[in-house]
Structures are given as structure tokens and as C-alpha cells.
Amino acid sequence: MRTWSRGRTLGVGIGLIVLTNAIALGGVWWNRSSTPESALTLSERELGLPWRSLRLMENSGLALNLNLRVAGRQAGEFAGGQMVNGGMPEWLDAAKMAALGFPVDAARADGERPQNARQLPREVILVMELAGPAWQRALEKARESAGRHAAAAAANVGNKQFADRAKQANDELAREENLNSRLFVIDAGLDARLLREKYPDRSRFLLLRGTVRPVTHSRGDGAHQASGYVSRVGNGQVHVPHALRGPLESAPAIGERGSGGLRFSAELLVGRRLEPWLIGVTPLAKDIN
């Protein structure tokens, strides 16, 4: 059997590395080579800093967590009717799943689950809206809950259970007003052009690739209904270029012990491959109160 010399093996290895890097850089160039598909100004609410202890473990760079929300069926009273970074939205019903290419069984009343739940996840294009009606509904729900529990506590002075619920509802309202992400997944499709025609405002609607998987849920009448679950958007993070890391590298994250977290605004662009990148980060204040 013919064997390669050490020098030849080394040369082939270096060549593969160079080729891989060239392909990656070419993909980045292609993604950024035309007018941005989306251009949004986000904040620390939507682009979360990882905790400093986790940043110290990563030597390769800094990435912000893309915090998105799903207004869905599975949420408690103090969750604003939403799930963070995944969930079953009301709009992702059987008809929408069929439009996304999933074979969907009809609802069944015999106690058996539709077979669609056994299908594999698929990549789709997800539409996210910044500070739109979905967030306004979550905000109004938090306000209504805080008002209702405050009234109940006032009518039951001295009752610790009512007082605790009122405090929890008021804390949730404060989080909704100041901390929770305003970026909600509101639609999905297979054609970016058609979605952009439906949602033309590029500074408000963000298009990214994500993953949807089929699930079923109980309708409450003994029947199971086919629907979908948003399980991933991109890789869940946005890389911070070295030139923009300065104000972020040692800053505290939201909720980190001893600090409320750094406030900042960030300019996010999305290219023709629906891949995001940052072009600017501006600190606004040291702490979120």
C-alpha cells in the first residue's frame, strides 16, 4: 500500500484548512454583499449578555444571546402569556403546519394522538416583530394582573397569600416594562420574499432561519389537535466583533448578582443568507434598576 510522507500529509491538512476558511469567509461576504434584509435597533432586553463567569470560560470571543418570545398556549398567569426562546404559538396551528410542508392529521376525539408528532423538525423562515402588538398584549396582561391582585390584596388586608400574589404580579409588571424581551415570533414561512412582502418594515420585522417541530395538544374536550412548536432560531446567539467588545466584556448581565445589568443599544443587520451581524453597540447606563 502506498503511504504519504509527513510533508505531504501536512500540506494536504493545511490546504484543507485554507479551503475551509475561504469557503466560510466567502459565505460571510455573500451574506453582507447587498442591501441588508433587516436592520433593527435592539437592546439588552433582546440581546442578553451571558453572565461574567461564563464569559471567562470562553476564550474564543463574545456572543450575545438572542432573546425571543412566543405568545403561546403554555404559559402561567405570571408569564405574560408567553414562553421564552421557544413554545407553541396560537398561530402555528394545523393549517400553518400544512403550509410549512408537514403532513398533518385531523384532530382526533378517540384519545389517540395524531401521527404528525412523530415527524422530524424542519427548517423554516421565522418572522419576529419588535415591540409590536404581541408585546403590547403581554404588557397589558401584566398591567391587568397587577391591578387585579392589588385590588384583592387591598380587600384582604393582613392576608399574606393575597399580599404575596400582589407583589408577584407587580414584579412581573416591572419586568415586562423594563427587562423582558420585546421580540416576538409572529409568523413562519418558506419563502423570504413573500414574507417580506407581507411584513415590509425592515426596521421592525426580523427574518431569520429557525426550526419548527410538530406537536399535539389537548383541546380540553378529549380530542388532540395537531400544531407546531418553535424550537430554535438561528443558533440562538449573535457574535460580537472584537472592535465592539470593549464596553461589554466586563459588564454585568441582567439579573447577575450585585447589579441590574448594563443598558445598551445594538445595531443588528441581517444579510441575504438571513444571517445576522452587529455593526454597533452603544452603552446607555451602567445598571438597570
The residue extents of the domains of the chain are: 36-132+182-285
Per-chain mean pLDDT for the chain: 81
Strand order in the sheet with 276-285: 38-43, 263-270, 276-285
Mean pLDDT, residues 39-66: 83
Q: Which of 14-18, 27-31, 149-153, 166-170 has the lowest mean pLDDT?
A: 27-31
Average of per-residue pLDDT across 88-106: 86
d(CA 169, CA 171): 5
pLDDT tier, 38 (very low <50, low <70, confident <90, very high otherwise): very high
Burial of residue 90, with CB atoms counted within 10 A of its CB: 0-12 exposed, 13-18 middle, 19 or more buried:
exposed
Q: Which of 15-29, 65-79, 147-161, 238-252 has the lowest mean pLDDT?
A: 15-29
pLDDT in tens, 230-285: 988 888 899 999 999 888 887 888 877 666 778 899 999 999 889 999 999 999 86
The CA distances from residue 266 to 197, 232, 278, 282, in Å, are: 25, 22, 7, 6
Encode pLDDT of 186-211 as tens digits: 999 999 999 999 999 999 999 999 99
In terms of residues, how long is the chain?
289
